[in-house]
Amino acid sequence: MRLDPPVKVTHEKITIDVHEIEPILQGPAMELKPWPPATVVLRDGRTMLVRAARLDEVQTLLEYVRKVMQFEHDFYDIVGARVYAELLGWYRKRLKDPYVMVGMIDGQLAGIINGRLKDKDINISHHTLTFMRSGRVGAVLFYCKAYYAFEILGNTEFWSTYESYNGWRIGSLAMAQPSYPWPEYQHELGGARVYYVSRDYWDSTIKDYARQMVGSDLNFDVSEEVIKANHTIPAPGEVTV
């Protein structure tokens, strides 16, 4: 839109440096405590390392997600597309206070989990995407997001929504998550219903969920050998979901 200025101006053209625009588009970030590497022994006996993803790993992660987007069953196409955008949003600094973690088993990518902070109180879960079957990999990774929210970051609520029936079963049903009234409350992923875990519910019930579900707790005393063995995410071969 163009309008004539209502007063005489000295300079009719103004040049703006993009370095001055970027702080407006990006916004100030909160200082998030990092997720410390942790292992968990799965029900099938495998040990999974859950660690923070690195920005230099985004392009490799995108290769995995591109393959997922090709599947048209169980909502993997929409989940893949959204995870792809969320990873790019983190990489291009267009998400507010995002976090991304990966599950690694014997040097192979078992899954990706991500979310972001709305503010210091509300942690918004985005997605849990798994590449390995059995052992309840997805459920363990989803639990790690809630653990991160309450035990590491000190949030008071953990918000989720679900595109797929499997995701709803692993998260909402298994954790018996209540939901906020809809449509008064809407999750940012398409305006869907908001399921949540409160701090009190976490402390009284969900915190022990990992032991009930997997039979073992998160172990934050991780050896350098395990960290080194799972430092690099390999390029994807054939991806099955």
Mean pLDDT across the chain: 94
- Residue 234: both structure tokens together: 């390999």
Percent over 90 (pLDDT), the chain? 85
Per-residue model confidence as pLDDT tens digits over 90-109: 999 999 999 999 999 999 99
The CA–CA distances, whole Å, from 208 to 143, 178, 179 equal 10, 18, 21
pLDDT range class, residue 213, cuts 50, 70, 90 = confident
Per-residue model confidence as pLDDT tens digits over 150-195: 999 999 999 999 999 999 998 999 899 999 999 999 999 999 999 9
**Cis geometry, peptide bond prior to residue 28 (ω within 30 degrees of 0):** no
Spatial distance between the Cα atoms of 162 and 154, rounded to a whole number of angstroms: 24
Spatial distance between the Cα atoms of 166 and 6, rounded to a whole number of angstroms: 60
DSSP 72: -
Q: Give the per-residue pLDDT at 229.
A: 97
CA angle 122, 103, 41 (to 5 degrees): 105
Full-prediction pTM beyond 0.85?
Answer: yes
Q: Give the per-residue pLDDT at 214.
A: 72
* Residue 58, helix vs strand vs coil: helix
Residue ranges covered by each domain of the chain = 37-229
**Which residues make beta-bridge pairs with 102?**
51, 112
Per-residue model confidence as pLDDT tens digits over 59-91: 999 999 999 999 989 999 999 999 999 999 999
Q: Give the per-residue pLDDT at 212.
A: 80
State the CB neighbour count (10 A cutoff) for residue 134.
Answer: 9
Q: Does domain 37-229 have CATH number 3.40.50.720?
A: no
Per-residue model confidence as pLDDT tens digits over 114-135: 999 999 999 999 999 999 988 8
pLDDT range class, residue 241, cuts 50, 70, 90 = confident
